[in-house]
Chain A
Amino acid sequence: MSDSQTFLSAFLLIFQWGGDLWEIIGLSLRVSLSSVAISTLLGLPLGALLAVRRFRGHHAITILVNTMMSLPPVVVGLFVYVLLSRSGPLGVFGLLYTPSAMVIAQTVLITPIVVALSRQHFQQEWERVGEQLRSFNIGTMSALPTLFWETRAALTTVVLAGFGRAIAEIGAVMIVGGNIDHLTRVMTTAIALETSKGNLELAMALGIVLLVLALLVNVAVHLVSHWSSVRGGGK
């Protein structure tokens, strides 16, 4: 079968596919959105704190967080696997090879990205407005809600960047999820599996869906940036 035929078959498969495809897409979205939500809740306050406060160990934490941005997913997967395996410290919860384990692994992977990128945006914004807010007699901690609001457009792109990383990730979810059919199979692990089986049409079909999702994320980032500049926000 030629490349173009494979591509055409892949497209047709997307429209012919039944519940299995939507189950895989649904799980992928559920795992990625859950990990992004947790990373956002943990990462944005930490990013803001690193931007506006100076304390002992500040530089060390900043360097550590920046370094963790480039954590190899398989290393994170291995680390979480050891934690969640039956003999590991969290083994009693029986989370290994469940979607929860995949959420934990992706959260570990994405949180440093959210912290590091948001810290940069918060810092730039704090340098812009910090003195004025203090001139209004607003303390640093009281100014944080304003800082979040002023940085909202940039923070949206940070969160979307985290989602992009999560949805495309394979190494960690493969190790801690195990790619079990109808339980922990997500788009990326399914693509790897179908490719190894030589089922290129199916792998390609999943790849197209993944690309469409990535495209939608980028369109969302673009729209947010555009909306922000129209509203006079910039970054």
Chain B
Amino acid sequence: MTTGSPSLNNVRFSINGTELLKGLNLTLGKGSFTVVLGPNGSGKSLFLRLCHGLLQPDNGELSWNGSQTRPPQTMVFQNPVMLRRSAKENIMYALRNCPKAERAERAQQALRWAGLESISERMATVLSGGQQQRLAIARAWALKPEILFLDEPTASLDPGACDYVEEHVKTMHESGIQVLMSTHNLAQARRLAQQIIYIQDGRIMAHQPVEEFFTQPSCDEAYEFIRREFAIAPVTKIKTVSGT
């Protein structure tokens, strides 16, 4: 299914002369579930938007297995964006490139998959935050992407809605969709991710398999980040990056 996963070569991005992403080099494994961690303002959201093509790098190159053609992909934002129409019509709108006859059926399938059939005719903008995020996930599923980007999708959700999003994102990944997600929730990252990217000050400081990251983070910054968040020290502290 996968035709390409993102590969960044010395990618830089600035706003008003301030460099916010500084020379990113990275290749993601095909079909992986990668979680992006980092403090507030570190550049996680910018990184995801850049990978998804919502932002263009100032320098460097973003490719997909050597090709410039983006595979089918979509993004779910922290605050779900709903159009002022029904839940079903929101999904149908996203499917506007599909043949017209297919749209309603695929939208209905997505609502069924997400357990949202009962609200299919309700105005999407008046749904609760949790329902809107579930609808956003259903809409992403309906698009059948090869890569799914999620920017802190559970940041403003209650635990129940959070579990729901996790479960459905996990299902999507298991069906072969590559996932790249940012979060502040380390427990969630540990539950879901195969790989962790740690970003700080616009630089990728660590890119490791999940268990290795949480037990042997490859830089001091990641070690401190985990220690502060969990209020306990990781098992081993390895200083391969800073060398201090």
Chain A partners chain B: yes
Contact A132/B123 with A146-B83, A150-B84, A232-B84 known, Cβ cut-off 8 Å: no
Contact A231/B84 with A131-B54, A135-B54, A136-B74 known, Cβ cut-off 8 Å: yes
Q: Looking at the assembled complex, report how far the CB atom of A158 sits from the nearest CB atom of chain B, in whole angstroms.
A: 17
Q: Which of B169-207 contact A (CB under 8 A)?
A: none
B52 at the binding interface (Cβ < 8 Å): yes
When C-beta atoms are compared, the residue in chain A nearest to B76 turns out to be: A135
Q: Looking at the assembled complex, report how far the CB atom of A234 sits from the nearest CB atom of chain B, in whole angstroms.
A: 7
A128 at the binding interface (Cβ < 8 Å): yes
When distances are taken between beta carbons in the complex, the residues of chain B under 8 Å from A135 are: 52, 54, 74-75
Q: Which of A194-235 contact B (CB under 8 A)?
A: 231-234
When distances are taken between beta carbons in the complex, the residues of chain B under 8 Å from A234 are: 125
Q: Looking at the assembled complex, report how far the CB atom of A66 sits from the nearest CB atom of chain B, in whole angstroms.
A: 23
Q: Looking at the assembled complex, report how far the CB atom of A140 sits from the nearest CB atom of chain B, in whole angstroms.
A: 12
Contact A232/B75 with A129-B83, A150-B83, A150-B84 known, Cβ cut-off 8 Å: no
A59 at the binding interface (Cβ < 8 Å): no
Q: Evaluate contact between A232 and B81: CB separation under 8 angstroms.
A: no
Number of interface residues of B (CB under 8 A): 19
When distances are taken between beta carbons in the complex, the residues of chain A under 8 Å from B155 are: none
B126 at the binding interface (Cβ < 8 Å): yes
Bound together, the chains give a CA A149 to CA B143 distance in angstroms of 23
Interface residues on A, range: 10 to 19
Q: Which of B79-110 contact A (CB under 8 A)?
A: 81, 83-84, 93-94, 96-97
Contact A233/B84 with A131-B54, A134-B54, A135-B52 known, Cβ cut-off 8 Å: yes
Q: Which of A122-170 contact B (CB under 8 A)?
A: 128-129, 131-132, 134-138, 146, 149-150
Bound together, the chains give a CA A138 to CA B124 distance in angstroms of 20
B64 at the binding interface (Cβ < 8 Å): no
Bound together, the chains give a CA A156 to CA B23 distance in angstroms of 47
Q: Looking at the assembled complex, report how far the CB atom of B173 sits from the nearest CB atom of chain A, in whole angstroms.
A: 19
Which interface residue of A129, A135, A136, A231 has the most chain B CB atoms within 10 A? A135
Q: Looking at the assembled complex, report how far the CB atom of A45 sits from the nearest CB atom of chain B, in whole angstroms.
A: 21
Nearest 7 CB-CB pairings of A with B: A232-B123, A132-B81, A232-B126, A232-B125, A135-B75, A233-B84, A136-B94
Apart from the given pairs A129-B83, A146-B93, A233-B84, 13 other A-B contacts in the complex at a CB distance below 8 Å: A128-B81, A131-B49, A134-B53, A135-B52, A135-B74, A135-B75, A136-B74, A136-B94, A137-B97, A149-B84, A232-B84, A232-B124, A232-B125
List, sorted by A's number, 21 A–B pairs whose CB atoms are closer than 8 Å. A128-B81, A129-B81, A129-B83, A131-B54, A131-B77, A131-B81, A132-B75, A134-B53, A135-B54, A135-B75, A136-B93, A136-B94, A137-B97, A146-B83, A149-B84, A232-B84, A232-B124, A232-B125, A232-B126, A233-B125, A234-B125
